Amino acid sequence: MKNINFEKKIKLSNYTTIKVGGFAEYFSKPKNTDEFINLIEWANANNQKCRIIGAGSNLLINNIFLKGLTICTKRMNSIKLDSNKGIVEAEAGVMLPTMSNMLAKNGLQGGEWTVGIPGTIGGAICMNAGTRNLSIAKNLLSVQAIDTQTLKIYKINKDDINFKYRFSPFQQNNLLIISARLLFEPKGNIEKLLENTKRILKKKTETQPYDLPSFGSVFKNPINAYAGKLIEELGLKGFKIGDAEISTIHGNFIVNNSSANSQDILDLITVIQQKVLQKKGIFLQPEVRMIGFDYP
């Protein structure tokens, strides 16, 4: 019998950056790939639904009791870097800011933009996280993933993954990312890379609400428009439902002022969608992933 460690009835609000979320029936933070695979095998053998979270920085989890097993990958954080070839091998739970700082210190160029994104590699690949015209897909070589239904483990090359803007097939299939191989440009100027990384983080923290709990951009940018600008043009910044507020700093962020709950946040998302549709004729598609809601 393999060693399976999980806790019962764990509050997920402690595992999301917006500090909202109900209870997980079973919850586990595996330390490495072996423990991760054992947990998935256990869930499969016991007919338990298995869901995965990384740093919970793009998640709205309903305030309900979530049956089944929730796995948080944050302790699967081993990372290897080849500074001559520019290749990085990272377990799914490695945090992007950790990777970004390591890249700069080792003279690897092209990952500076990830420094201000408080998510894991696995979450970033699932979301195809990015900024402007850059996204994680650009640097990805391959992923190792496990199918929760068949328990088969695959190595999937980037070219076989249909990435789109803030979308990857991992949002819809049964595959959970175990680890990833990425490629960056080697032999860069370390001093300049460190400086650029610092500058990017400073700009992000000055233009986005980093001092309050949030889940980053609420909506995807529509074609040829910015969601934040559309919301700002309608005078919605500062609009509140309960303790959930449209950030006064950035229109595409919802912040939790203290005790917002999942319904306040979902209601605020719906109000924004209705107003932008009425006044601008554009339907804003959420970027944030929802768990435990009947959301289409």
Minimum CB–partner distance for residue 279 and ligand FAD (Å): 26
Minimum CB–partner distance for residue 268 and ligand FAD (Å): 16
Residue 177 is a binding residue for ligand FAD (CB under 6 A): yes
Residue 262 is a binding residue for ligand FAD (CB under 6 A): no
Give Cα 20 distance to the centre of its chain.
15
Residue 138 is a binding residue for ligand FAD (CB under 6 A): no
**Are 77 and 29 a contacting pair, CB within 8 Å?**
no
**Catalytic residue check, 217:** yes
Identify the residue among 107, 110, 130, 228 touching ligand FAD (CB under 6 A).
130
**Torsion angle in degrees (nearest 10) through CA of 184, 113, 96, 100:** 60
From 27-35, 42-50, 54-62, 274-282, give the range in contact with ligand FAD by CB under 6 A. Answer: 54-62
Amino acid found at 9: K
Q: What are phi and psi of 125, to 5 degrees?
A: -70, -45
**Catalytic residue check, 289:** no
**Are 273 and 265 a contacting pair, CB within 8 Å?**
no
Minimum CB–partner distance for residue 157 and ligand FAD (Å): 17
From 112-120, 220-228, 266-274, 278-286, give the range in contact with ligand FAD by CB under 6 A. Answer: 112-120
SS3 readout for 6-29: CEEEEEHHHHCCCCCCCEEEEEEC
Identify the residue among 99, 103, 104, 176 touching ligand FAD (CB under 6 A).
176
Task: Give percent helix, percent strand, percent coil of the chain, each to the nearest 5.
Answer: 30, 25, 40
Identify the residue among 120, 144, 148, 247 touching ligand FAD (CB under 6 A).
120
**Catalytic residue check, 166:** yes
Beta-carbon contacts of residue 143 (< 8 Å; ≥ 6 apart):
125, 155, 156, 161, 177, 178, 179, 180, 181
Identify the residue among 5, 46, 131, 258 touching ligand FAD (CB under 6 A).
131
Residues 93 and 118: their CA atoms lie apart, in Å, by 11
From 47-55, 184-192, 227-235, 241-249, give the range in contact with ligand FAD by CB under 6 A. Answer: 47-55
Interface with ligand FAD (CB under 6 A): 17, 52-59, 73, 92, 117-120, 122-124, 126-127, 129-131, 170-171, 176-177, 208, 210, 214-216, 289
